[in-house]
Amino acid sequence: MIDRRQFLRRTGMGAGALAMLGPAGLLAACGSDEAATPAASGTGSATSGSAPATLTPLRMQSAWVSDAEFMGYYIALDKGYYSAAGLDYTYLPGGPDVIPETTLLAGQAEVALTTVEGVAKLVADEGAKLKIIGTQYQKNPAGVVSLKANNITEPKDLIGRTLAIAPVGQITFEALFAANNLDIADVTIVPYAYDPTPLLEGEIDASGDFVTNVPFTIQEKGGDPTSFLLYDYGLKLYNDAVVVQEEYLAEHRAELVSFLRASRQGWDENFKDTTAYIPLLKEGFGKDTGRSAANEEYFNKAQQDLIEHPDGVYAMTADDIDANIETLQRFGIQVDASLFDTSLLEEI
């Protein structure tokens, strides 16, 4: 069985947001259910100037266990970018029992990476004072994975076929089909077992999954995978949004700008060569995920186009924010552009 995410945790559906079954709810993605690695903190060896004498503590709650999804932060920590920016940065790994929004609201972290839909649900329904100040993924990795021989390259190709999805993903695919003027009743839906074997054996034609990792597993088993993103067919949502409490934003703006700048440095360094820092992951942060270095290399390369932006990592344009809001409305979540604060990005 392939590594998988714990669906409810990854969609922010804990605490007061359990009723939300949003686009990321279908995800069986790249991660392990093993225990997360310990929190990492330190100054590393600064390569971009001397660190200030006094460092400001800043804890970041990650969205999942320590794998290639978070390479930029490991590199920034290892290279000393955070300490050079005046931060005593602590990386807090996630896991199946960790809800980033809860950690943030409990004051156990200053920054969290999580889903837009989870944050929006808390803001809309419970009045949570949260702001999204950037986004790691410009395009959500959620998609449909199949075999090239099945000729499934867009939603309409699923008509008359068998699609495996997690039960919590039903509402996501109903929205996907509605957005593309298709009837989900014309598709045979079966439970997804987090295993590509039924796809390889022809029992199903496609599955709902993260496109950044599952194709690697299919290749390892001798298959020839193909995939498409739900983002490209009407369900436009960021992922691994950078979230803070409004009070912290008001009082620690400079520190957050420094955090975004140093983290961007880490991501820029990572994408110079997506294989170069895999040993840093496998020998330290992600050594307990149970996944091969080759798997992490595949993942890191696959996510590059989903993260990079002409305006820099974390960029959020007005058009993309509007697209996120429209998608949230498809799920009955009513928020406006005030959920997003792009002003810090202008300073980095």
| 206-235 pLDDT, tens digit each | 999 999 999 999 999 999 999 999 999 999
Range of the domain at 178: 142-233
For the chain, residues with pLDDT lower than 70 are 1-52
CATH number at residue 158: 3.40.190.10
Residue 310, both tokens: 């002409």
Q: Are residues 85 and 149 in the same domain?
A: no
Report the domain count for the chain: 2
Distance CA 180, CA 45 (A): 50
Q: Supply the pLDDT for residue 8.
A: 35
Q: Supply the pLDDT for residue 312.
A: 98
Q: Are residues 291 and 338 in the same domain?
A: yes
Q: Are residues 173 and 256 in the same domain?
A: no
Please tell me the pTM assigned to this model. 0.86
Q: Supply the pLDDT for residue 23.
A: 40
* DSSP annotation of 14: S
24 in a domain, yes or no? no
Domain boundary among 233, 264, 296: 233
Please give the single-letter amino acid code of residue 128.
A
Q: Supply the pLDDT for residue 286.
A: 75
Q: Supply the pLDDT for residue 288.
A: 74
Q: Supply the pLDDT for residue 124.
A: 97
CB neighbours of residue 97 within 10 Å = 10
215 Cβ contact partners less than 8 Å away, ≥ 6 residues apart: 145, 225, 226, 227, 298, 302
